[in-house]
Amino acid sequence: MPDTSPAPETAPLLAEFRALLGPLGVLEAPADIAPHLQDWRGLYQGQAMAVLRPASTEEVSACVTLCARHGIAIIPQGGNTSMVGGATPEARPSAPGGQVVLSLMRMNRVREVDTADMTMTVEAGLVLARAQQVAAEHGTLFPLSLGAEGTAMIGGLLSTNAGGNTTVRYGNARELMLGLEVVLPDGSVIHGLRRLPKDNTGYALRHLFVGAEGTLGIITAAVLRLFPAARETATALCAVPSEDAALALFRRFRAADEGAVRAFEYMSGIGMGLVTATIEGAVIPLQAPAEHYVLVDLSASREGAGLRHLMEGVLEAALEAGEVTDAALAESEAQRAAIWRLREEHPEAQKRAGASVKNDVSVPVSAVPELIRRASAACRALIPGSRPVPFGHMGDGNIHMNLAQPEDWSAADFLARSHDIMDAVNAVVRDLGGSFSAEHGIGRLKTDMMAEWRGGAELDAMRRIKAALDPQGIMNPGKLLPDA
């Protein structure tokens, strides 16, 4: 563990933070701050003089004002589930005053639920699963859903514009947000908690902070959109003969009832093999192993929507057309959860199965089969014995084009090839008109790709926005934007 004890000159600063936030608001002991200094994937280890835990917007503002005065960098942190090292402080602080992690974990209140306007106003530290639960308790739905929902927080989800499993129906986190409260890098506060679906009053500043990954300010609260609760669901796991068949099945469901598809997820045979080998109790409820699988989840807010009938009808037609070879329909909530578990445990299974390189890429939906085939072939050619593990949000054209290490390689040797692997996959993605980061963001991992992919006027405009809002460069340095 690195030495995280405060340098002598930080002692007066820490005293000021303690005076602002009280004893619960400042973590300083190495063991207490250690979990905040490493990312979920274990790729990055940082250091910080302290972890600040403000409990209100006023406290966040006071912390930021103090940091700005002393040139201290701030690394905003929610659930610390970033896949790209976005919430991890630098190993050596670039800011003159050092750096602090600012955790939103104590700002976890639900300020208001309004079932007339179908909105929920919550603080940034509210965990997503709790937001879903509160919405359900009010007979509504907050539809954002992803594997990290038990840990990820609203502020982090908005700051990465998280996608997840339901984007195909409800959009990304951005589309689920109506208003924001944000503390700017000088400590001033934008009070933008408006709940207006229509609000064209100049630059839509709220959208600037969504996907900004903590580089422009700190989101302290948000107005989220609610939807009618699902009254009927139907879920199936299907074995399909090819990537093209998976896409054809997606189109079949969309043509049958566009509004019914809540999620459409692709999994490979290799990925499902890793899940069943490493996750206790994970069993594929089909006759025989397959090379390709899809999970189809239908939902409707209307009772008597006939989703079971729809599911069976579409699958029957797809079986006849040879697009599906086997399918299991969930007969109970437990079976539905078991099918979803096979999908959601992919990240954990990959972690347990050794080193992996992640490529969170997107292409037009029609190009997904070609992406999977060509990128898998490119990876195998680059590293013989490596195992492509493509999975994810096929309905959005977002595939996690991940690569598991060859079984006889060391993790270190494999990870040393990370950038070659990402380059090989990205070459295919570029050719197909896609993006090198679909939903996880840039963080620290992908800053060096920005110039190539977003260079010229686009990157230049981003830099000018950053300089205008954060002239001292204290907000999450080293993330999102490459060094000038």
Min CB(392)–Zn ion separation in Å: 5
Contact 13, 49 (CB under 8 A): yes
Binding status of residue 160 toward ligand FAD by CB under 6 A: yes
Binding status of residue 402 toward ligand 2HG by CB under 6 A: yes
Interaction partner, residue 185 (ligand FAD, Zn ion, ligand 2HG, none; CB < 5-8 Å by kind): none
Restricting to residues 57-96, name those near ligand FAD by CB under 6 A: 75-83, 86-87
Instruction: Write out the DSSP string of 210-241.
Output: TTSTTSS-EEEEEEEE-EEPPSEEEEEEEEES
Pick between residue 53 and residue 440 the one whose CB is nearest to ligand 2HG. 440
- Helices 11-21 and 57-70 pack at an angle, to 10 degrees, of 160
Torsion 464-468-472-474 (CA) sign: negative
Residue with tokens 């063991």: 31
Residue with tokens 């982090």: 156
Min CB(437)–ligand 2HG separation in Å: 11
Output the 3-class SS for 166-217.
CHHHHCCHHHHEEEEEEECCCCCEEEECCCCCCCCCCCCHHHHHCCCCCCCC
Pick between residue 184 and residue 261 the one whose CB is nearest to ligand 2HG. 261
Binding status of residue 219 toward ligand FAD by CB under 6 A: yes
Instruction: Write out the DSSP string of 12-23.
Output: HHHHHHHHHH-G
Contact 102, 127 (CB under 8 A): no
Min CB(205)–ligand FAD separation in Å: 14
Contact 163, 439 (CB under 8 A): yes
Binding status of residue 479 toward ligand 2HG by CB under 6 A: no
Min CB(49)–ligand FAD separation in Å: 17
Member of 400, 446, 454, 479 binding ligand 2HG (CB under 6 A): 400
Instruction: Write out the DSSP string of 280-324.
Output: TT----SSS--SEEEEEEEEESSTT--HHHHHHHHHHHHHHTTS-
Min CB(142)–Zn ion separation in Å: 18
Binding status of residue 263 toward ligand FAD by CB under 6 A: no
Q: Report the alpha-carbon distance of residue 433 to residue 82 in Å, rounded.
A: 25
Interaction partner, residue 476 (ligand FAD, ligand 2HG, Zn ion, none; CB < 5-8 Å by kind): ligand FAD
Contact 178, 223 (CB under 8 A): yes
Pick between residue 146 and residue 238 the one whose CB is nearest to ligand FAD. 146
C-alpha distances in angstroms, 57 versus 15, 145, 183? 20, 26, 8
Contact 267, 240 (CB under 8 A): no
Interaction partner, residue 81 (ligand 2HG, Zn ion, ligand FAD, none; CB < 5-8 Å by kind): ligand FAD
Torsion 215-216-221-224 (CA) sign: negative
Pick between residue 77 and residue 140 the one whose CB is nearest to ligand FAD. 77
Long-range (24+ apart) CB contacts under 8 A made by 285-290 are 285/237, 285/328, 285/335, 285/338, 285/339, 286/237, 286/239, 286/326, 286/327, 286/328, 287/326, 288/239, 288/326, 290/239, 290/240, 290/241, 290/325, 290/326
Min CB(165)–ligand 2HG separation in Å: 7
3-state class of 252 per DSSP?
helix
Member of 130, 262, 346, 444 binding ligand 2HG (CB under 6 A): 346
Judged by CB under 6 A, how many residues of this single chain contact ligand 2HG?
Answer: 7
Q: State the first-to-last Cα distance of the chain, in angstroms, to the nearest integer.
A: 31
Pick between residue 38 and residue 242 the one whose CB is nearest to ligand FAD. 38
Min CB(223)–Zn ion separation in Å: 25
Spell 332-350 as b/e; 16+ CB within 10 A means b.
eeeebebbbebbbbbbebb
Binding status of residue 268 toward ligand FAD by CB under 6 A: no
Member of 17, 40, 264, 340 binding ligand FAD (CB under 6 A): 40
Min CB(415)–ligand 2HG separation in Å: 15
3-state class of 101 per DSSP?
strand
Member of 206, 358, 444, 446 binding ligand 2HG (CB under 6 A): 358
Restricting to residues 400-459, name those near ligand FAD by CB under 6 A: 439-440, 443
Binding status of residue 218 toward ligand FAD by CB under 6 A: yes
Pick between residue 156 and residue 392 the one whose CB is nearest to Zn ion. 392
| The one segment of 13-21, 160-168, 264-272, 301-309 that binds ligand FAD by CB under 6 A | 160-168
Member of 147, 271, 395, 443 binding ligand 2HG (CB under 6 A): 147
Restricting to residues 377-436, name those near Zn ion by CB under 5 A: 392
Binding status of residue 192 toward ligand FAD by CB under 6 A: no
Query: Which structure tokens are listed for 201?
Result: 């009053």
Min CB(426)–Zn ion separation in Å: 17
Member of 79, 86, 347, 441 binding ligand 2HG (CB under 6 A): 347
Hey, what amino acid is at 152?
A: A
For residue 241, how far is the Cα from the chain centroid?
29
Chain residues in the site for Zn ion (CB under 5 A): 392
Binding residues (CB under 6 A) for ligand FAD: these are 40, 75-83, 86-87, 104, 124, 146-148, 152-153, 155-157, 159-160, 162-164, 213-214, 218-219, 347, 439-440, 443, 476, 479
Binding site for ligand 2HG (CB under 6 A): 147, 346-347, 358, 392, 400, 402
